[in-house]
Amino acid sequence: MTDRTLSGHRIVILEDDYYQAQDCRQLLEAAGAKVIAISATVPDLSALLEEGRIDAVLIDINLGHGLSFDFARDLKARAIPFVFLTGYDAAMLPDDLAGSGYLTKPADAARIKAALAHASQSAR
Amino acid sequence: MAEHSSETDDSLFRAAFGALPDAACIFEPIGVPGEGVADWRYLAINPALCAMFGTGDLTGQALGQHFPKMLAHWTADLERVILSDTPAVLVREGGQSPSFYEVVLTPLRYAGRRAIMARIRDITGEHQAREKRREADARYKLLFDAIDEGFCIIEVVFDADNRPVDYRFIEVNGAFVEQTGLVNPVGKAMRELEPDIEDKWVAAYGRIAQTGVAERFESKSEAMNRWFDVYAFPIGETAPYLLGILFEDIGKRKAMELALRHSENRLHSLIEASSDLIFRMNPECTLMQQVGGKPLLGDVGEERNWVEDFVPDGDRAAVEAGLADAVRRRAPLEIESRVRTAGGDIVWLAARAVPVLDESGAITEWFGMATDVTTRRQTEQQLFQGAEMLRVASEIGKVAMWEWNVETGEMFWSEEHYRIEGYSVGEVIPSYERWADRVHPDDLAGVELRVAKAMETGEDYIHEYRVCHPTGDILWVSARGRFMFDEAGKPVRMLGAMIDITQRRREEEWQRLLVAELQHRVRNLIGMVRSVARLSAPSHRHVDEYVDHLIGRLQAMGRTQSTLTRSPGSSVDLAELVREELLVHAVQPDQCHVDGPEIALSPHAAEIVTLAIHELATNSIKYGALGDTGYIRIVWSSEQRGDKQWVSLRWQETAQLRKTKQNRKGFGRKLIEERVPYELQGHGRFAVHDTGVLAELEFPLVDAGSILDPRS
């Protein structure tokens, strides 16, 4: 693998399904990214930021717990780029998050990498 | 006369005396009058007297000699007349009553001696007649004053040309003053008493006075302001006659007559103009006869048994009962019934009749009227049916209805309206404010805007909004209303209906979520399958083996999915889950021991535990206890740790010997050691001992399950 699209990017994955989270981690690390956190629940953002910057966050919308939107708002407030990766339609997004980066499951590796690269790029 | 001799005179006197029609005699006293008269001697006696007494000539004889009683009776009178030398007329009752005699005693001189002549006349007839007249007069006078009518006797006054000009009252009775108002009229002329008296009265009385023909008439005197009923008749033998006038002031009667005539006319007009049927019935209410008004029953003709003839069979019993009741109570009768007219049509008549009673209180007949109320009955029926239909429909459909009088602010709510607004029926007086109180605060402005718009444009008001109950419940309602406007285009009323659509709203929302969830699940599942496939790959060198494993895992996932969709949102019983998984892998009951309390797993936890048991069972069949004569214990327990309930599940194999030592971290081990902590925030341990595998799973139980449960 010589893909270095996300070389040096510090990325957080919020995904409640263990297998998909592992899958994502593997493909992002293969693209040169450093996955600094992988969690099925909303992580402590402040603690993570103390360890270093966050270039992008990949968020699975989990309506079952309904917390991911608040987490996204928190990220938005801290100007941390993020991309939703979800089985739901974009119509599920609340109005204030409507313009956010968005990928529909199942997404292939190329699209995930491109979306995260784009998000972190535009934030810089 | 001097030449005549006394002898000639005497014979002449005797002849005259003898020819007198009355009985007569001449007495001379025997004795000296004033000093004692013993008897009276007849000097002469005429034949009439002889006839009266039935005697012969008593000349020269004494009265007492023949009639001693008469002597006693008369001697005082005879002596008084002689002494006074004045004639006297005496009336004496005869011995045989009733007989009356008039006796005229005249003193005279006969041959130089004092004598007395007595002339006797029978006046019995005259006396009786006079007595009778006197009695009649008294009775007449009594009557005259006793009668209520006025009575007077007048004399009509004529002028020189014999024209009547006035009349004078000669006599009046007691009632006269009361009847005329004229005071002290006797002797006065009418024009003196009442100068303005009309000429017609004088003319009428003058005519009667001249013709002698009695007249009866009624006339009004404007001058006296009285109405009189007059009977005037002539009195006397020749013209101009006096007049007797019997009269009465009939002003009151006249006024009553006029009023009665007026009232009768009006009643008649009313009956003729009436659209009702006027009828009379016999006392038993069986026979009826139309007496006026509109022929509502057609041509009724003679008296008829109307119940039999006109009332339809079905209504007859009720009508007869009503009639019998009224007859028994002798009270006004009111009946509303269908009747068949002579033309065969069925109409509704409302009849009311009152009993006419005689002096003894017995019913002589019934009098009443009947109105055609067919249209009213039909309208009532339609109204009733309409209202009933609306009531039932709104009850069944749970439709709340309201009416709002825009001008007065008054409102009407149906029972369902109260309920939808969260009031008990009748709890409040319906008003705009009470309604607005219950509209969700966030929706109120929007609702009022819609109402205002409907009022302004006349378009139907259609809106869905939330209603908050005091209990905290929130209902969604769908309301539709319409304003009514007057001729000037001013809104006067609003009518509307409202239904509770909370359930529909919830179902819509539920459906929306369900579709989204389905999409999510399908996409997630594909993602998961892809991940599982990728993660399964490294551990197998042979494709066949890989495919078997992959299919086994996918089937386990499928079982979880089917469990979840079979009872979405509900929890899964751990014991059941374990047993089903063992059954799938054909684990015999004598190979295992399953024990633990009843525990309900969330769908998510169930999915992971299912997969874990699957992996362990697959592994055990291939390498461990289940592939040999081993034995498995699957036990679990639960305990409180902090604020959460934790469940601990242990899988322990006991095998005679181990086929291979497996240290590599396979799919199952990863699942237990990594996925359990990751997804369930618990712990997982997987160890391979000499006796077999020991796996332990611990995780907190959470209530929140799938989004498929709308209540979570």
For A76, the domain range is 10-107
- A124 in any annotated domain: no
Residues 6+ apart with CB under 8 A from B265: none
Phi/psi of residue B191, each to 5°? -70, -20
Asked if residue B478 and residue B426 are part of one domain, the reply reads yes
Cα separation of B151 and B246, whole Å?
5
- Which pair of tokens denotes residue B387? 């209202």
Measured between CB atoms, which of B517, B527, B707 is closest to A20?
Answer: B527
- B690 in any annotated domain: yes
Cα separation of B154 and B177, whole Å?
15
Chain B 496-555, residues with CB within 8 Å of chain A CB atoms: 513, 516-517, 519-524, 526-528, 530-532, 534-535
- B70 in any annotated domain: yes
- Which pLDDT score, from 0 to 100, does residue B387 have? 86
B239 has pLDDT over 90: no
Name which of B222, B233, B227 is nearest B199 in CA terms: B222
pLDDT digits (tens, 9 = 90+) for B311-361: 888 888 888 888 888 888 888 989 888 888 877 888 888 889 999 888 888
Lowest mean pLDDT, pick from B131-145, B197-211, B437-451: B131-145
Residue B672 C-alpha, separation from nearest chain A C-alpha, in angstroms = 11
- B3 in any annotated domain: no
ipTM (interface pTM): 0.86
pLDDT digits (tens, 9 = 90+) for B275-325: 788 888 888 888 888 877 777 777 666 777 878 888 888 888 888 888 888
Cα separation of B48 and B25, whole Å?
9
Measured between CB atoms, which of B530, B678, B704 is closest to A106?
Answer: B530
Between strands B36-45 and B23-32, the pairing is antiparallel
B435 has pLDDT over 90: yes
Lowest mean pLDDT, pick from B97-101, B356-360, B455-459: B97-101
- B101 in any annotated domain: yes
- Which pair of tokens denotes residue B62? 């004494």
- A87 in any annotated domain: yes
Asked which of B473, B500, B527 is the last residue of a domain, the reply is B500
Query: Where residue A16 sits, what CATH number does that domain have?
Result: 3.40.50.2300
Asked if residue B628 and residue B573 are part of one domain, the reply reads yes
Question: pLDDT averaged over chain B?
Answer: 85
CB B214 within 8 A of CB B222: no
Name which of B185, B211, B367 is nearest B290 in CA terms: B367
Asked if residue B544 and residue B484 are part of one domain, the reply reads no
Measured between CB atoms, which of A17, A65, A88 is closest to B519?
Answer: A88
As a whole number, mean pLDDT of residues B158-186 equals 90
- Which pLDDT score, from 0 to 100, does residue A124 have? 56
Which residues in chain A touch residue B678, judged by CB atoms under 8 angstroms apart?
Answer: 18, 21, 40
Residues 6+ apart with CB under 8 A from B123: B91, B100, B101, B102
- B165 Cα distance to chain centroid: 67
AA identity, residue B658: R
Contacts from B567-570 at CB under 8 Å and sequence distance 24+? B568/B706, B568/B708, B568/B709, B569/B603, B569/B705, B569/B706, B569/B708, B569/B709, B569/B710, B569/B711, B569/B712, B570/B705, B570/B709
Q: Is residue B116 packed enough to be buried (19+ CB in 10 Å), middle (13-18) or exposed (0-12)? A: buried
DSSP codes joined into one string, B457-506: H-PPEEEEEEEE-TTS-EEEEEEEEEEEE-TTS-EEEEEEEEEE-HHHHH
Measured between CB atoms, which of B517, B527, B675 is closest to A106?
Answer: B527
Cα separation of B197 and B164, whole Å?
14
Asked if residue B402 and residue B363 are part of one domain, the reply reads no
Work out how many domains chain A is built from and give that number.
1
C-alpha torsion sign, points B546, B552, B556, B559: positive
- Which pair of tokens denotes residue B243? 């007049």
**pLDDT confidence of B685, banded at 50, 70, 90?**
very high
Residue with the bigger pLDDT between B702 and B425: it is: B425
CB contact (8 A) between residue A64 and residue B681: no
Work out how many domains chain B is built from and give that number.
5
Residue A71 C-alpha, separation from nearest chain B C-alpha, in angstroms = 18
CB B334 within 8 A of CB B351: yes
- Which pair of tokens denotes residue B309? 């003839």
CB contact (8 A) between residue B528 and residue A20: yes
CA end-to-end span of chain B, whole Å?
Answer: 180
Query: Where residue B160 sits, what CATH number does that domain have?
Result: 3.30.450.20
Which residues in chain B touch residue A20, judged by CB atoms under 8 angstroms apart?
Answer: 524, 527-528, 531
- B167 in any annotated domain: yes
For B104, the domain range is 13-126
Name which of B667, B400, B384 is nearest B535 in CA terms: B667
- B371 in any annotated domain: yes
Asked if residue B309 and residue B436 are part of one domain, the reply reads no
AA identity, residue B657: L
3-state secondary structure of B237: coil
As a whole number, mean pLDDT of residues B12-18 equals 83
Query: Where residue B569 sits, what CATH number does that domain have?
Result: 3.30.565.10
CB contact (8 A) between residue B535 and residue A22: yes
Asked if residue B173 and residue B113 are part of one domain, the reply reads no
CB contact (8 A) between residue A17 and residue B531: yes
Asked if residue B575 and residue B632 are part of one domain, the reply reads yes
- Which pLDDT score, from 0 to 100, does residue B361 have? 83
Residue listed under structure tokens 């003898």: B18
- Which pair of tokens denotes residue A68? 């991911």
pLDDT digits (tens, 9 = 90+) for B651-669: 998 876 655 555 567 788 8
CA dihedral B615, B621, B624, B625 (to 10 degrees): 110
- B346 in any annotated domain: yes
